[in-house]
Structure 1
Amino acid sequence: MDIPGSIGEVEVMLGGQGYVCDRSLGTVVFLALTLGRPLFLEGEAGVGKTEIAKALASGLGRRLIRLQCYEGLDASSAVYEWNFAEQMIAIRTAEASGGVDRAHLKDELFTEEFLIERPLLQAMRPQPGGAPVLLIDELDRTDEPFEAFLLEALSDFQVTIPELGTISAPEPPIVIVTSNRTREVHDALKRRCLYHWVDYPGFEREIDILQSRAPEAAEALSREVVAFVQRLRTEDLFKKPGVAETIDWAKCLLALDVITLSPEVIADTLGAILKYQDDIQKLQGSEAKRIMEEARSGLDAA
């Protein structure tokens, strides 16, 4: 599929993949696609940052290449590695045949035949259907030296392998960088990207998202679920539930044939929306009932 020609087309394309997009997000995605700029998405966990990259890849018919970041990630893990096992087999085979030319063998060992391509190098290669979508997920989990390494890749869309030289992308990949803001990402990297803060959705948009991802849920139950989760986000919790938890909870309730919320049902299924025991303990007893009643009062007032 060609790059969408307007913000509206971006919204329609993402909507077709089950991603409910607001105007501000549609605008920055359109600009990133049109200008060929990386898109830096920041926000709480579970608000749909990673899903944007998945929806883009699916909507455009492009390959999704994901680099999942973690502490200690380095260039060799992100770009390439040499297949040492295959190299050792080649060495043993050459020795067994006799007459080993060491200089010639060394040249043969460091060729693309023995190269294991990691996500950043894969993203620089031509792909069927056009440039891939490169998702650099949870960049805030890495160390600052890896951020500095990324500057070349995001500025010039190229990587360097000492034994082979510089490999440039014939067509720059569509780059989505996400961060849960567990630490600040350096300004030098952010300046190379378009930036967007992905916030928790409003009530009506979260209803639309839930109906898109769990269409079998009755409207009344969907409204109760979203109202409860949104009210829960105002509480003093260690980790507030994201949209992903809203969807998971609704699917759990459907699996239990729940028609309407009750304190007992909430207590039995809290593990779908809260992931820390301290948070779960805060909602024991009358607290869950209080939040449920406040959520229903808000629905009645609306």
Structure 2
Amino acid sequence: MGPEERATASPPLEPDSPQALRARLEETGYLVDEGLAVACFLTVRLHRPIFCEGDAGTGKTALATALAAALGAPLIRLQCYEGIDATQALYDWDFPRQLLHLKAAEAGGVGDAELLEFQLYSPRFLIARPLLKALETWPSVLLVDEIDRADEEFEALLLELLSEWTVTIPELGTLRGERPPVTVLTSNRTREVHDALKRRCLYHWFEHPDFAREVAIVRRRLPDVTERLAVEVTRAVRALRARDLLKPPGVAETLDWAEALHALGATALDAELATATLGAVLKYHEDIEQARSLDLTALLASAPTGGPS
């Protein structure tokens, strides 16, 4: 286990209430409502994973980062993708080092095949991937990001791990963690995840925040941005979300746009500046072209401010 996986100091005590955890999360700059605070508290207290589902850019991945900071624990991330399997997620053997050891043993005249096999498949040659790292590291926060991009075979592997919190390695036996990591699974709902996996988890749906909360997020995460710019960027993003775009911008894009505008020295947003910086908030050519064809001055003036988009 490398130093990056170990907690560098004694972790703070687990929060004794949802309100206490909410306060800790907000200290990291991550603002949560009461429902999410309760779900996160139960995740920590009951050792149950939390399944976070919703549109991209609504803060699902950032929640895991904030929880790690709030709990004083390292964040261990597994990015899912099509075709991911146990060797990328659980463990693998360090074949080049095993080969070097084998050659050294042969040069040294080691003839005991059973001893040599025992040495080759010992923990010193085991490469712990994120799931095994999280099992071996306590405290830790495990992020399984975009589980909807993986296939059903990987879901089954993950379900087995979440059920028992053990990993069986044929050459070493069964490894059991001291305590389960705090686990966050995210999904952008590009496909439905199997009910059996969801049943192991607490569930929270992530929506775009309302106007006031989104402005507060920008102000908290980017304190150097003027209040006027934070308000106007948030209104502009909400106006874009109301259009028929291929990928409506999320909170992450609100932050990116505000940061880009601040880097240009802007303290307010106008149509000319908005047009010049659309690449910070829209990520598809078709969406940018649609935004450029609009009367941005009128669009920004009519941007909604109340309720979730």
- TM-score tier, shorter chain, comes to over 0.9
**What is the CA–CA distance in structure 1 between the aligned matches of 2:299 and 2:221, rounded to whole Å?**
25
Give 2:250's aligned residue: 242
> In the alignment, what sits opposite 1:208?
216
CA distance in 1, matches of 2:267, 2:102: 67
Map 1:215-254 onto structure 2 (within 5 A). 215-254=223-262
- Do residues 57 (structure 1) and 68 (structure 2) align? yes
Query: Alignment partner of 1:67: what SS?
Result: strand
- Calculate the aligned-residue CA RMSD, in Å: 1.3
Provide closer, same or farther for how the CA distance between residues 293 and 115 of structure 1 changes in structure 2, counting only shifts above 3 A.
same
Instruction: Give yes or no for the alignment of 1:98 onto 2:109.
Output: yes
Cα distance in 2 for partners of 1:286, 1:231 equals 11
Structure 1 residues 255 and 188 mapped into 2: Cα distance closer, same or farther (>3 Å)?
same
Instruction: Please tell me whether residue 47 in structure 1 is matched to residue 55 in structure 2.
Output: no
CA drift of 1:99 comes to 4.5
Which range moves more in the overlay, 286-295 or 199-208?
286-295
Seen in structure 2, the aligned counterparts of structure 1 residues 91 and 228 have a Cα distance that, compared at 3 Å, is same
CA distance in 2, matches of 1:252, 1:99: 63
CA contact (8 A) 2:77 2:130 kept: yes
Distance 1:221 1:259 in 2: 5
How much does 1:103 deviate? 2.2
Give the Cα separation in 2 of the matches to 1:94 and 1:261.
69
Q: How does 1:168-183 map to 2 (within 5 A)?
A: 168-183=176-191
Q: Which amino acid aligns with 2:167?
A: V
1:166 maps onto 2:174 in alignment = yes
Structure 2 contact 257–277 (Cα < 8 Å) conserved? yes
Distance in 2 of aligned mates of 1:191 and 1:221: 43
Residue identity opposite 2:159 in structure 1: L
Correspondence for 2:129 among 113, 118, 121: 118
Aligned-pair identity (%): 49
Instruction: Quote the offset at 1:126 in angstroms.
Output: 4.0
How much has 1:72 moved relative to structure 2?
A: 0.8
- TM-score, normalization by structure 2: 0.93
Q: Unpaired runs of 5+ in structure 2?
A: 1-11
| Structure 2 CA distance for aligned equivalents of residues 102 and 162 of structure 1 | 18
Aligned pairs (5 A) from 1:8-19? 8-19=19-30
SS at match of 1:175: strand
Aligned to 2:118: 107
Alignment pair present for 1:5 and 2:16: yes
- Residues paired across the two proteins, number: 295
State the secondary structure of the residue aligned to 2:244.
coil
Q: Output the CA distance in 1 between the equivalents of 2:223 and 2:41.
A: 28
Partner of residue 193 from structure 2, selected from 177, 185, 194 = 185
The structure 1 residue matched to 2:78, chosen from 36, 48, 67, is 67
Q: Structure 2: how far apart are the matches of 1:175 and 1:97?
A: 46
Distance (Å, rounded) in 2 between the aligned partners of 1:99 and 1:194: 53
Q: Which residue of 2 aligns with 1:139?
A: 147
Secondary structure of the residue that 2:92 maps to in structure 1? strand
Q: Check if 1:151 corresponds to 2:162.
A: no
String of CA shifts for 1:176-227, please: whole Å, max 9, x gaps.
1011111111000000000000110000100110000111111111111111
Equivalent-residue separation in structure 2 for 1:4 and 1:268 (angstroms): 45
Q: Distance in 2 between matches of 1:195 and 1:133?
A: 17
- Deviation at 1:298? 5.7
- 285-294 or 137-146, larger mean C-alpha shift: 285-294
- Consecutive unaligned residues in structure 1, runs of 5 or more: none
Distance in 2 (alpha carbons) for counterparts of 1:143 and 1:151: 13
